[in-house]
Amino acid sequence: MSKITTDLCIVGAGPVGLFAVFEAGLLKMRCHVVDALPAVGGQLSEIYPKKPIYDIPGFPEVLAGDLIKNLEQQIAPFHPTFTLGERVEDLEKLEDGSFIVRTVDGTEIACKVVVIAGGLGSFEPRKPAIENLEKFEKHGVEYMVRDPEHFRDKRVVLAGGGDSALDWAIYLAGLCKELTLVHRGTTFRGAPESAAKVLSMAEEGQIKLILKSNVSEVHGENELEAVTVMVDNTTPHRIETDYFIPLFGLVPKLGPIENWGLELDKNAIVVDTEAYSTNVPGVYAIGDINTYPGKLKLILCGFHEAALMAQSAYNIVYPDKKFVLKYTTVNGIQELQ
């Protein structure tokens, strides 16, 4: 478990979180950035790195991935530190007004200011609407395959029609005692070679494939024992199984931030537009994760919000100093040592 001390803990390493490092750095505030993804850039790096963006001032056209590279270069003089691949879990406010931010892996970041730049939130498994499904979570219902060995010689029912469902069906069929893939449709739009492989394995009897069907019920006492598959949406068919793994992709959720006592509106954090501060003093929210009258979910608006946040955060980090706006055209970039 590592402990980090910094001025600002920025939650989210997307473009707005990175630019917040720049604005804070101009005011001589140190930043530590945390992100659940293993690399910086948020959805720009993860989802659409090759997509051109046209509304960044000064760039008639810039690829999302290149914008992130430029931002990394721009913040380098301020030597930010990073915890990547760890989702934030807990926020504790101390008596002196400072904070401890904790990640799922136990990293602790002691800071004076928390800046939430979490974009869409964290991506969590999409759960099908099946009664009692949550009762069996970790007791036979899993939403991802962390360690395939866990399923060796077990009976497994997978549900889904995307790449993830296809890939795991192919992989687990060689490990499991019995593997059933249930899919709502009649075709697979995942990688064609994966779809072809699943179909041929089904013909050879290595995979039980049930198309045009949904898992509609889960059964068991304390552990999962069986599922009901509604075949053709009409005929119930019970399958005895040790595991049920619905693989329906990911959906963005606020995640643990939801439990931090922040005022929320429709899954976004309510802020005061004077400084993009939340209802918890010392906690700010910038970028797509916040909401206010007139909110526009644009990267450039997030950049603006980062600049105003930094000015307000300065008063918390340096309570005895008077804030004076300095222009980079006059002062240049003063590297943080």
Partner 1 sequence: MKDAINIYVEQESGERIELEAPLDMNLSVMEVLKANEFPVQAVCGGMAICATCHVEVLESGPLPEMNDDEAYMLETLPHATDSSRLSCQLRVNPELDGLVVRIMPEA
Please list, in sequence order, all residues whose beta carbon lies within 8 angstroms of the beta carbon of residue 170, skipping any fewer than 6 positions away: 194, 197, 198, 201
Would you say 123 is a known binding-site residue?
yes
User: Is residue 212 at the binding interface for partner 1, with CB under 8 A as the rule?
Assistant: no
Task: Pick between residue 138 and residue 266 the one whose CB is nearest to partner 1.
Answer: 266
Figure out which of the listed residues 97, 185, 281, 332 binds partner 1, where binding follows CB under 8 A. 185
CB-nearer residue toward partner 1: 77 or 125: 125
Secondary structure element (H or E) that encloses residue 97, with its range: none
Q: Do residues 225 and 137 touch, judged by C-beta distance below 8 A?
A: no
Binding to partner 1 (CB under 8 A) within 261-320 occurs at 266-267, 288, 297
Closest CA relative to residue 51, chosen from 65, 36, 70: 65
CB of 287 to partner 1, least distance (A): 12
Q: Is 42 in the site for partner 1 (CB under 8 A)?
A: no
* Interface with partner 1 (CB under 8 A), residue from 38, 39, 47, 321: 47
Which residues, other chains included, contact 191 with Cβ-Cβ below 8 Å and sequence gap of 6+?
A: 163, 166
Confirm or reject binding of residue 249 to partner 1 (CB under 8 A). yes
How many whole angstroms separate alpha carbon 328 and alpha carbon 6? 24
What distance in Å separates the CA atoms of residue 67 and residue 317, rounded to the nearest whole number?
Answer: 29
**Would you put residue 18 in left (φ > 0), alpha (ψ -120 to 50) or beta?**
alpha
> Residue from 59, 143, 171, 248 that binds partner 1 (CB under 8 A)?
248
Cα–Cα distance list, 141 to 150, 219, 240, 275 (Å):
13, 11, 13, 44
Token pair 């309570």: residue: 319
Taking CB under 8 A as the binding criterion, the range among 67-75, 156-164, 300-308, 328-336 that sits at the site for partner 1 is 156-164
Residue 334 labelled as part of a binding site: no
Taking the complex as a whole, how short is the minimal distance between the CB of residue 265 and partner 1, in angstroms?
A: 12
- Residue 236 CA to residue 249 CA, distance in Å, equals 25
Cβ(172)–Cβ(156) below 8 Å: yes
For partner 1, the closer CB: 110 or 209: 209
Tokens in use for 77? 């003089």
Choice between 26 and 156, CB closer to partner 1 = 156
Q: Do the annotations mark residue 317 as ligand-binding?
A: no
Considering only the stretches 2-10, 24-32, 244-252, 317-325, report the one whose residues sit in contact with partner 1 under the rule CB under 8 A.
244-252
Q: How near is the Cβ of 132 to partner 1 at its closest, in Å?
A: 16
Instruction: At 8, list the tokens.
Output: 């600002």
Distance CA 159, CA 171 (A): 15
Q: Which of 184, 237, 295, 304 binds partner 1 (CB under 8 A)?
A: 184
Residues annotated within the binding site for FAD are: 35, 43, 48, 88, 123, 288, 329
Interface contacts to partner 1, rule CB under 8 A? 43, 47-48, 120-121, 126, 128-129, 159-162, 184-185, 187-190, 214, 246, 248-249, 251-252, 266-267, 288, 297
